[in-house]
Amino acid sequence: MYYLGLLFEYLKNYMKTRLTYRADFWVEVVSDLLFQATNFIFILVIFMHTESLGGWSQNEVVFVYGFFMVPFGVFSCFVNMWGFSERYIVKGEMDRILTRPAHNLFQIFLENVDPPALVGSVIGLIIMGISGSNLGLPFEWWTIPMVIILTLSAVAIYTGIYTTLTSLSFYSDAPTGILPLMYNIQTYGRYPVTIYNRAIQVLLTWIIPFAFVGIYPAALFLHREEMQGMALLTPVVGAIFLGIGLLSWNYGVKRYKGAGS
């Protein structure tokens, strides 16, 4: 309850700062959408030259893409750790966070909320609707609950991976350029992983499980038998990776001694 109240206060604060830079809000929405559009154009161009991608039709790939956008939007809205090392550790902001009663990671998430990202989720849902009806997908009683459960699981996977990577900055003071590059890799979880070779499949499934934020859960709605089991495993993978993320974060915070300035 206390945390919900905090969330509300931070969002109010966000709106106030945003109203001063109103144009920025829209620039951000547009640039987010453009980023998504790039990938969309890629899919369209691919299917101008081929009928199927590893046995998946254009509508199916577009549907997966739509699903991918939903958890990604939620994740980018609430979890944004871009430049954590520079902004919190080097500048000593982490000390301020630690003196407050709420959990430090929660505070960092809240300080960086980014509601414009949710526009992407809405568009993802629309894309799912359009391509789903093109495919004639049945709307089952479990569709909506599963969308919610799988979205939350995928958000947990994202949060776990990025929290783990960010917590590395507690152990080493050198800036890590890994985060931006990860953003590239996660988009690969959107294509049928079976087109890749064994090594990349294993990597995207078990090591940095980005296949679980796109193709596997979406396969459930597409009634692709071969990935049904993987789809149902999504919440488990989400729980495990979120756990790893939180553990390495908390351990990192314990080791944290301040930048010493």
Partner 1 sequence: MSEQLKAAAATSSAGGSSAGSPQENGWRLLLGAYFDFIRIRFLTMLAYRVNYYSGILIYTLNIGVNYFTWRAIYGDGESLGGFTGAQMTTYVAVSWMARAFYFNNLDREISTDIRDGSIAIQFIRPYNYVLVKMMQGLGEGLFRFMMLMIPGMVIAILLFPVQLPTDLSAWAGFLVMLFFSFLISSQINIITGLSAFFVENNEGMMRMKRVVVDLFSGLIVPISLFPGWLSSVLEVLPFQAITYLPGSVFTGRVQGVGIWNVLGIQVIWFVVLLIPIVWLYHAARQRLFVQGG
Query: Smaller CB distance to partner 1: residue 61 or 147?
Result: 61
Query: Smaller CB distance to partner 1: residue 95 or 146?
Result: 95
Query: Smaller CB distance to partner 1: residue 22 or 254?
Result: 22
As a whole number of angstroms, the distance between CA 55 and CA 62 comes to 14
Query: Smaller CB distance to partner 1: residue 33 or 149?
Result: 33
As a whole number of angstroms, the distance between CA 109 and CA 115 comes to 12
Written as six digits, the tokens of 82 are: 């871009």
State the nearest-atom distance from the C-beta of 189 to partner 1, in Å. 10
* Alpha carbon distances (Å) from 231 to 47, 70, 211, 220, 236: 25, 16, 10, 6, 10
State the nearest-atom distance from the C-beta of 17 to partner 1, in Å. 11
User: What does the buried/exposed string (b/e) look like for 220-247 if buried means 16 or more CB atoms within 10 Å of the residue's CB?
Assistant: bbbebeebeebbebbbebbeebbeebbe
Query: Smaller CB distance to partner 1: residue 20 or 99?
Result: 20
- Count of Cβ atoms closer than 10 Å to residue 81 Cβ: 20
State the nearest-atom distance from the C-beta of 56 to partner 1, in Å. 9
* Residues within the interface to partner 1 (CB under 8 A): 21, 23-24, 27-28, 30-32, 34-35, 38, 41-42, 45-46, 48-50, 53-54, 83, 86-87, 90, 174-178, 181-182, 184-185, 188, 191-192, 195-197, 199-200, 203
Q: Can you tell me whether residue 257 is helix, strand or coil?
A: coil
State the nearest-atom distance from the C-beta of 54 to partner 1, in Å. 5
State the nearest-atom distance from the C-beta of 46 to partner 1, in Å. 6
State the nearest-atom distance from the C-beta of 99 to partner 1, in Å. 23
- Asked if residues 241 and 163 have their Cβ atoms less than 8 Å apart, the reply is no
- The Cβ-side half-sphere exposure at 143, using a 13 Å CA radius, reads 13
Written as six digits, the tokens of 165 are: 């990577």
Query: Smaller CB distance to partner 1: residue 147 or 208?
Result: 208
